[in-house]
Chain A
């Protein structure tokens, strides 16, 4: 069975730069609509089932608010 992954995105810590959207080769993220307390719009991991765990978004995130882990 193919591996599946969990994407944890910290809504309040995100600054909404959109780098995860930009680097994802599987188009897992969508632009977010909701604002956090600091006025940023964090993206949403809308198609997490498409994630292949390349860690591109983890490496690209400058704000320590995104983690991709393999679901056991």
Chain B
């Protein structure tokens, strides 16, 4: 096992129950690398997890304090925990795309609105993979999945002029970033900024699901080839190391004013969806621009108490 395992993880939970080739471990590894960079240990972080692949495979892997939220509600639980814990401890939450942007979006938006100090890591496998590979809220249009055999006909939160990070930005989040789980040092850098931000931070990672997205949507069983296709689709890169060289350059964000071409029935999987040209790196950096929820609440409560005592 590597040094990150020995420093941060529980032996009885690793190797995880994730499928061979699941990119979730890559996301988990980047968070641990960021914590290592900040010299934070198991005593400094409370780790919460959502439901689905992302929640299940990371639950209780952290050697320090852990908790599992109900589906989509881990952000609300963490907001209460933030007030109780005080500013000394970091809160890291790992959730999936359905948990964060589907059932839990309203809780997520309200945490962003209050600027609650937490780092949400959204591990996005582009659909509901733990339940058998149905299309989800970030599945690219046109994708063939178990529940969209002729191609997905509805817009998701990525592409077609929509971007869920734009909604979070408008809701008041103070740090937002997006990466592929294959990105190297640049993704760790974004996570470091997110962890250092005394406010609501979210880093969105898109990672390959080999069992459903790879096999059904990409039509490929060979995991190495799935990784290659995934990288070529999102990053435009070929064989090589981490995909950092494309950061902030090759990609383009789908602008709000662009005409949405919509899916072509029977045109095959995902080609042509703007989700595949998303810009990687920091999406919004408003660190320190808004007051943090727990700190202001504690100060406000203290003022009220002192006022009432007079």
Contacts and interface: CB of A to CB of B under 8 A. Distances in A.
Contacts of B20: 15-17, 40
A15 B227 contact: no
B248 interface: no
Contact of A64 (B22, B25, B241): B25
A60 B9 CA distance: 18
Interface string B207-235: 00010000000000001100110000000
A62 B242 contact: no
A19 B1 CA distance: 16
Nearest to A14: B15
Given A13-B15, A62-B22, A64-B2, A23 B223 contact: no
Interface string A50-72: 00001110111111111100000
A64 B1 contact: yes
Q: Which of A38, A59, A61 has the most C-beta atoms of chain B within 10 angstroms of its own C-beta?
A: A59
A10 B1 contact: yes
Nearest to B238: A25
B2 A58 contact: yes
Interface string B1-38: 11111000100001110101111111001100000000
Contact of B25 (A16, A18, A62, A67): A62
Nearest to B19: A15
A21 interface: yes
A22 interface: yes
Interface string B233-266: 0000001111000000000000000000000000
Interface residues of B, number: 30
Contacts, number: 89
Given A25-B239, A62-B21, A65-B1, A15 B184 contact: no
A22 B182 contact: no
A64 B241 CA distance: 17
Contacts of A55: 184, 241-242
A1 to B, nearest CB: 23
Interface string A1-36: 000000010100101111101110100000000000
A22 B184 contact: no
A60 B224 CA distance: 11
Given A22-B239, A59-B242, A64 B4 contact: yes
Given A22-B227, A62-B18, A62-B21, 20 more contacts: A10-B1, A15-B20, A17-B21, A17-B210, A18-B21, A19-B223, A19-B227, A22-B228, A23-B242, A25-B241, A40-B20, A54-B241, A56-B241, A59-B29, A59-B30, A59-B242, A61-B2, A63-B16, A64-B2, A65-B15
Interface of B: 1-5, 9, 14-16, 18, 20-26, 29-30, 182, 184, 210, 223-224, 227-228, 239-242
Give the 10 A-B residue pairs with the shortest CB-CB distance, closest first: A56-B241, A62-B25, A17-B21, A15-B20, A22-B224, A67-B2, A64-B5, A54-B241, A18-B224, A59-B242
